[in-house]
Each structure stands twice: as structure tokens, then as C-alpha cells.
């Protein structure tokens, strides 16, 4: 028997793609969309409710009322300040269990997933269990391929990300001609692209490198790109994108690759 899926929806295309996959496969589902984070206009045609980010108790009641057993966390969520969070009683219980031990975003999200699973009996699953395997073979997915200088930028970016990864800082870096223009922090990948577009130097465009952190929990916040990522990278004057072979989600791969080909930029998969 197919279990009902609960979707905790943040921003971007990924929650929408999961809803569409559930509709196509006939799997029952219910969306809890996070206010000011999720694209509620696009999700409104699906069974859903909207909650503020600190309303953990309301989310739990909704999922239990809907008979949800499996949960998936999808889409980007900007980490709020305590004033913005306004935690309800259930959220306060969660933070009491975490104390001061939570580190970066991935550590916090893993603790959230564990709380839903261990304290409330939900089965928090990786997105790949809904959308299918996330891996791609190493090499270029596009007609355009990175040249030697761009490959050197990719290697430089990998070194930076592997150095910062254990500190739970960012999944992405932008490199141009060996110079690090920016490292993803709390602002997220989209803002990183925009910022580095304003910092780029004359010559071949920068490269966006995006990989998972060491030991990253596959249930939460795997690196994700899609057609919108390609459009932003192209508009910012970048030359290409490098992603990880087996731990990157490409939302609608065919459309994403086609968009990169139209823009004349490369999309390549690497085994870090």
C-alpha cells in the first residue's frame, strides 16, 4: 500500500516538482507550505495549508489529521532570526532538545528531521525516494564543455568547499581565473550568483561549483539546481556550472540541460 506523503515546502521549483510527481504516480500527498518561503501561488492547486515558519505544532496536527506517514523536506528556507521565528509550544520543545548544540543549516535541518521522526513517528525520507535516483554520470551534460582554465577553476572551488564543508558552511562557491569571488553562506545560492555577477572580472566568466557537504544527511537540503539556476547563472555572465555526480538534484534535467545549451554555458558533473 502506498503511504500518504507529507511535503514540507520551502522555496524554489523542487516542492512543485514533487507534487507533480505524486499526481502523476497517483500517490496521495499533502503540502505544508512555509509562509514567505514557499511559492504559494504555484502550490495552491494542490492539497495544502500555509503556516508560519515557527508553527511546528500546527504542522504536526495537519499532517496527523491528513493521515500522513512519510515526510519529505523540499525547497530552500532562509534561516530566520528568533524574532521572525516566533516559535510555538512545539517549536520551543524542539529548541529545548537542541539547546546550543546546533551548528550550521544542515546540522539544524538534520535535527528537525530527527525530531519529526523520533518524537512523532513520521518517516522522513530522501527526495530521491520520491523523484527517483538523483545521480548523474561524470562528464559534461551539455554541448559546451569546460576548457582547461575552467577546469582549474572547478578544482579550485572543490578545494575551497572541501575545506569549509566540515564547518557546515555553504554548498557553493564561485571562482573566476583562480580567484574565489564568493562562498555561499546564509544568503543562499541565488544571492551568491547575483553578488558574484557584480564582482566578476573581465575575461571568461566565473564558474559556479556546488556539492554536498561531507557526511550530509540525504534527507535534507541536498544540492539542487534547475532551469532557474541556469537562467540566473547565464544572466550574471557565468561560463558554467559544476555539480556533484551522485548527490545533486537536478529539477527536470532535460529542461535544465536544454536551457544551458541555449545559453551556451556548460553543465558538468564531477566526482569530488
> Are residue 72 and residue 112 in the same domain, yes or no?
yes
State which residues form the domain around 161.
139-270
Domain boundary among 131, 148, 163: 131
> Are residue 121 and residue 160 in the same domain, yes or no?
no
Q: What is the pLDDT of residue 225?
A: 92
pTM of the model: 0.81
> Are residue 125 and residue 204 in the same domain, yes or no?
no
**CATH code (residue 64):** 3.40.50.20
Domain boundary among 131, 162, 193: 131
Provide the residue-wise pLDDT of the chain in tens; the chain has 272 residues: 689 999 999 988 899 999 999 999 999 999 999 998 899 999 999 999 999 988 889 999 999 999 999 999 998 887 766 667 787 788 778 777 765 555 556 677 788 888 888 888 999 998 888 887 767 889 999 999 999 999 999 999 999 999 998 887 889 999 999 999 999 987 889 999 999 999 999 999 999 999 988 877 778 778 889 999 999 999 999 999 999 998 888 988 999 999 999 999 999 999 88
> Are residue 74 and residue 24 in the same domain, yes or no?
yes
Q: What is the pLDDT of residue 2?
A: 80
> Are residue 122 and residue 177 in the same domain, yes or no?
no
Query: ∠123-28-77 over CA atoms, to 5°?
Result: 60
Domain boundary among 114, 131, 148: 131
> Are residue 266 and residue 144 in the same domain, yes or no?
yes
For residue range 198-221, list pLDDT tens digits in order: 999 999 999 999 998 887 777 877
**CATH code (residue 263):** 3.40.140.80
Residue-wise DSSP of 140-207: ESSSS---HHHHHHHHHHHHHHHHHGGGT--SEEEEETTEEEEE--TT-HHHHHHHHHHHPPSSSPPE
CB-count burial class (<10 Å; 0-12, 13-18, 19+) for 144: middle
> Are residue 92 and residue 60 in the same domain, yes or no?
yes
> Are residue 111 and residue 184 in the same domain, yes or no?
no
Given a contact cutoff of 8 angstroms between Cβ atoms, the answer to whether 142 and 265 are in contact is: yes
Contact partners, residue 104, CB within 8 Å, separation at least 6: 167, 168, 169
> Are residue 124 and residue 144 in the same domain, yes or no?
no
> Are residue 72 and residue 115 in the same domain, yes or no?
yes
| Residue 60 φ then ψ, to 5° | -60, -45
> Are residue 121 and residue 151 in the same domain, yes or no?
no
The domain total for the chain is 2
Compute the Cα dihedral for 15, 18, 23, 27 and give only its sign. Answer: negative
Q: What is the pLDDT of residue 185?
A: 85
Looking at 48-171, which runs of residues are DSSP E strands? 48-51, 70-74, 123-124, 139-140
> Are residue 37 and residue 155 in the same domain, yes or no?
no
Amino acid at each position: 500500500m502506498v503511504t500518504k506523503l507529507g511535503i514540507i515546502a520551502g522555496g524554489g521549483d523542487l516542492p512543485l516538482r514533487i507534487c507533480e510527481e505524486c499526481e502523476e504516480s497517483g500517490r496521495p500527498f499533502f503540502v505544508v507550505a512555509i509562509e514567505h518561503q514557499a511559492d504559494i501561488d504555484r502550490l495552491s492547486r494542490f492539497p495544502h495549508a500555509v503556516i508560519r515558519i515557527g508553527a511546528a505544532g500546527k504542522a504536526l496536527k495537519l499532517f496527523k489529521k491528513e493521515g500522513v506517514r512519510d515526510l519529505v523536506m523540499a525547497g530552500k528556507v532562509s534561516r530566520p532570526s528568533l524574532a521572525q521565528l516566533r516559535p510555538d509550544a512545539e517549536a520551543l520543545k524542539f529548541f529545548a532538545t537542541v539547546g546550543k548544540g546546533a551548528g550550521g543549516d544542515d546540522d539544524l535541518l538534520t535535527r528537525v528531521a530527527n525530531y519529526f521522526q523520533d518524537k512523532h513517528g513520521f518517516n522522513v525520507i530522501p527526495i530521491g525516494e520520491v523523484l527517483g535516483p538523483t545521480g548523474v554520470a561524470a562528464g559534461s551534460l551539455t554541448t559546451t564543455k569546460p576548457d582547461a582554465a575552467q577546469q582549474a577553476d572547478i578544482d579550485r572551488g572543490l578545494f575551497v568547499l572541501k575545506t569549509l564543508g566540515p564547518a557546515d558552511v555553504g554548498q557553493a562557491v564561485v571562482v573566476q581565473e583562480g580567484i574565489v569571488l564568493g562562498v555561499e553562506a546564509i544568503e543562499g545560492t541565488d544571492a551568491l550568483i547575483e553578488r558574484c555577477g557584480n564582482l566578476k572580472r573581465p575575461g571568461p566568466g566565473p564558474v559556479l561549483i556546488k556539492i554536498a557537504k561531507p557526511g550530509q544527511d540525504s534527507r535534507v537540503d541536498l544540492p539542487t539546481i534547475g532551469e532557474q539556476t541556469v537562467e540566473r547563472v547565464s544572466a550574471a555572465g557565468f561560463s558554467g556550472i559544476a555539480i556533484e555526480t551522485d548527490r545533486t538534484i537536478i529539477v527536470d534535467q532535460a529542461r535544465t540541460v536544454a536551457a544551458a545549451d541555449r545559453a551556451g554555458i556548460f553543465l558538468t558533473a564531477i566526482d569530488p
